Amino acid sequence: GQLRDDARRLVSFVNELSPRPLILSLDVPSGLDATSGLPCPEAVKADMTVSFAAAKPGLMLPWARPYTGECHVGPIAMPAKVREEGPCSFRLLDGHALTLLPAMTAASYKNTYGHILVMGGRPGMCGAGHLAARGALRSGAGLVTAAMPAAGEDQVRMGWPEIMTLPLGDPGNRDWPAQLPDDLRQRLHQCRALVIGPGMGRGKDSHAFLAALLKEPERPACVFDADALMLLAGDPALLAALGPGDILTPHPGEAAALLHCPGSAVQQDRMAALKALCAAVPAAVVLKGAGTLVGQRDCPTGLSPLDVPQLAMGGSGDVLAGCTAALLARLQESPRAAHQAACLAVALHAAAGRILARTHPHRGNVASELADALPQAMTL
């Protein structure tokens, strides 16, 4: 809640001390919301915070750092039974999470690592489909096929012979088919995970194609991104077809469309927005942005503590979608495959952004470089 006036005066007094002493906050800096990481409306600006038993989620969010300083966790001999009965409800998606990436398999071949089908990249927006396919390959997928209206085939491939293509319709066709063609249906059931939406468009043809895909019996798990999210937001019947194996990857604007609220409302309380999204769909949800959050019903919330400016560019989300699908294919035997794949993809994507920060400290990197940094990020 908001600070009382007397407490607020004390907080201002501490922050304005001159010369400034070393300030240590115990558990939570006074005035800081322990969940949102926002001041209420002011908070002590500490040089270091020692949080007891476990870090509070708000302390880990990037905008809380001016108030927390260095963050440490101090054990206070909490009984094991308490930990068992009340396990942590958040998991930190920092570099340590990369130790949970699936190991390579002995005597493996390309199908061991999964075939990914990317559906996106209509003419004029083909780069998005390419970046999603590139992100999947760079994240370890064994095979990647990109399907798109026939007119966009060469632009989606962009000279990458490793990206197989499945052009839909006659040469020059610019629209998505209203029904799934037989060759696409066959390829669909050869794949372990799908990506749909990057550069797909939001026209009537895109809507009809997405509806046909969601009606396909025993379709593979799917990562929904970009235009697919906006189509889902506009049609409750499509949203109702999602399952617990699927993943949604909205940025704040797409999250607002799904929740039918202003974008500012999402950013004012990202935790509440994630909770509302997870209540609306059984799928895992990645709420992108600084301090990315990952949620799914009955799962701990994944929280990225990072704000990586090198990720804030066109195409970054397309790379994440492909990366997520590649990990989803590898983890499909896990009971919580969607949530686990989404969490690991967020950590890996951020690690790749931090690699680019070394060579592009003032930004200027492009999304294809982000995709190409993913293999190195897996070694961190």
Query: Is 163 domain-assigned?
Result: yes
Same domain, 267 and 347: yes
User: How many CB atoms neighbour CB 200 within 10 A?
Assistant: 28
Instruction: Yes or no: say if 187 and 213 are a contact pair by the CB < 8 Å rule.
Output: no
Q: Quick one: three-class SS letters along 219-271? A: CCEEEECCHHHHHHHCCHHHHCCCCCCCEECCCHHHHHHHHCCCHHHHHHCHH
Query: Is 7 domain-assigned?
Result: no
Structural domain ending residue among the three candidates 58, 88, 118: 88
| Separation of alpha carbons 355 and 327, rounded Å | 20
| Separation of alpha carbons 241 and 220, rounded Å | 13
Lookup: tokens for 62: 């990037």
User: How many CB atoms neighbour CB 270 within 10 A?
Assistant: 20
The H-assigned helical ranges of the chain are 5-15, 57-60, 65-68, 80-85, 126-138, 153-157, 182-188, 204-215, 227-233, 236-239, 252-259, 263-268, 270-280, 316-330, 337-359, 367-377
Query: Is 14 domain-assigned?
Result: no
Query: Is 3 domain-assigned?
Result: no
Same domain, 164 and 61: no
Given this model, what pLDDT does residue 107 score? Answer: 84
Same domain, 141 and 257: yes
Q: How far is CA 126 from CA 122, 136, 151, 156, in A?
A: 6, 16, 10, 5
Same domain, 326 and 227: yes
Query: Is 93 domain-assigned?
Result: no
Three-state secondary-structure class, residue 91: strand
Report the CATH number at residue 195.
3.40.1190.20
Given this model, what pLDDT does residue 287 score? Answer: 98
Same domain, 208 and 236: yes
Same domain, 176 and 152: yes
Query: Is 147 domain-assigned?
Result: yes
Given this model, what pLDDT does residue 335 score? Answer: 87
Q: How far is CA 193 from CA 94, 198, 294, in A?
A: 25, 15, 19
Q: How many domains does the chain have?
A: 2
Query: Is 8 domain-assigned?
Result: no
Same domain, 253 and 194: yes
Residue 66: what residue type? P
Domain extent for 352: 98-377
pTM of the model: 0.94
Same domain, 252 and 145: yes
Same domain, 105 and 84: no
Structural domain ending residue among the three candidates 35, 62, 88: 88
**Cis peptide bond N-terminal to 19, omega within 30:** yes
**Cis peptide bond N-terminal to 41, omega within 30:** yes
Same domain, 83 and 201: no
Query: Is 33 domain-assigned?
Result: yes
Same domain, 58 and 39: yes
Same domain, 283 and 313: yes
From first to last of the 380 residues of the chain, give the pLDDT tens digit.
899 999 999 999 999 999 999 999 999 999 999 999 999 999 999 999 999 998 999 999 999 999 999 999 999 988 989 989 988 899 999 999 999 999 888 888 898 899 999 999 988 899 999 999 999 999 999 999 999 999 999 999 999 999 999 999 999 999 999 999 999 999 999 999 999 999 999 999 999 999 999 999 999 999 999 999 999 999 999 999 999 999 999 999 999 999 999 989 999 899 999 999 999 999 999 999 999 999 999 999 999 999 999 999 999 999 999 999 999 999 988 889 999 999 999 999 999 999 999 999 999 999 999 999 999 999 98
Structural domain ending residue among the three candidates 60, 88, 116: 88
Given this model, what pLDDT does residue 332 score? Answer: 87
